Structure 1
């Protein structure tokens, strides 16, 4: 089995590429989706997060706006939250791997792959990228997004140029969808073609 990371800065088209990988039959573990499930209604981490950050949960699980306001810019609070969330996501990832043990290739969709130091545990990394103006237009079109919030998120992410430099494969999502889909298929074929080396 080949284990591959999929990453890219906010608004670069990672979700689109992940969907294209799934269309090709590649199992994709979505770290963000796992976190949403763990923190959603009835999620396994809701009580523990409420205990650590009182007033941040309700009937719908964790109130991400309230929790975000508490941890944004507070390194100690963020570390406390990560200490709750990361072990649970790791357990979900292990279960995902076990469920797809016979797959020739699995992809881990991890937004902060380089920032959190997880790349060395994978055989290769795919970075999705687009021009800065495309990225900015995409992100600012999201509900509730502001230029200040976007800048704050970017400040916590490695620059796109550095991600591209560290990548084994780069997929340009600024191209038309068909061109991006062709790049995805080419990368998958390339990765699978390396078996036995």
Structure 2
């Protein structure tokens, strides 16, 4: 029995990844959003709250994870970050597996994974799609976000693989430096091109 072709969608901050993921969903492609899964599991009543609280006392309350409090315990502490990732990553993997089972009959599914290359997830997908835009477009988008500063932007970029390297490692690139209509057309063309890619 064939299984869905698994597309891995990634891209640096401000490149339009969420917008492109929504376009795939709009075309009927099931989308697994890793960040959204984590937010749900860390939100009010989230299933990871007891484990996180046990490992990092005082880091949660009835609203879920208290990001500042958790950040204070984890930021810059390698062992603490590894402990947190040891709680989160297996849970995300289980959610992803359940998603795959739910959509086993689909011709393709999309995994929206911001740190696909950085966290070693590239070997779990059949095709890698990188969203990319010119640096000046990226910078303008990110600095327009509430609370963002040039310094914060630089720090985030330093933690991410450079866009040029992502583009080199991609199977497909979607340029988001164009109009939304042109980006949507690129998404539709790619879906048509990948129609027969399931394993």
Distance between the aligned counterparts of 1:142 and 1:2, measured in 2? 34
User: How many residues get paired?
Assistant: 196
* Uncovered stretches (5+) of structure 2, i.e. residues with no partner: none
CA distance in 1, matches of 2:43, 2:132: 30
46, 64, 68: which one aligns with 2:49: 46
Unpaired runs of 5+ residues, structure 1, are none
Question: What is aligned with 1:123?
Answer: 126
In 1, Cα distance between the equivalents of 2:160 and 2:150?
A: 15
1:63 to 50, 61, 66: 66
Q: Aligned residue for 2:190?
A: 187
Runs (4 or more) in structure 1 with deviation over 4 Å come to none
TM-score (norm 2): 0.93
The change in CA–CA distance for 1:33 and 1:132 in structure 2 (over 3 A counts) is same
Conserved? CA contact 2:8–2:116, under 8 Å: yes
1:176 to 155, 174, 179: 179
Q: Between 42-51 and 185-194, report the one with greater CA deviation.
A: 185-194
Matches within 5 A, 1:67-146: 67-146=70-149
Q: Please report the RMSD computed on the Cα atoms of aligned residues, expressed in angstroms.
A: 1.4
Question: Any conservation in 1 of the 2:107–2:198 contact (CA below 8 Å)?
Answer: no
Q: CA deviation at 1:194?
A: 4.1
Is it true that 1:12 corresponds to 2:12 in the alignment? no
Distance across 1 between alignment mates of 2:17 and 2:89: 21
2:41–2:47 contact (8 Å) kept in structure 1: yes
TM, length-normalised to structure 1: 0.94
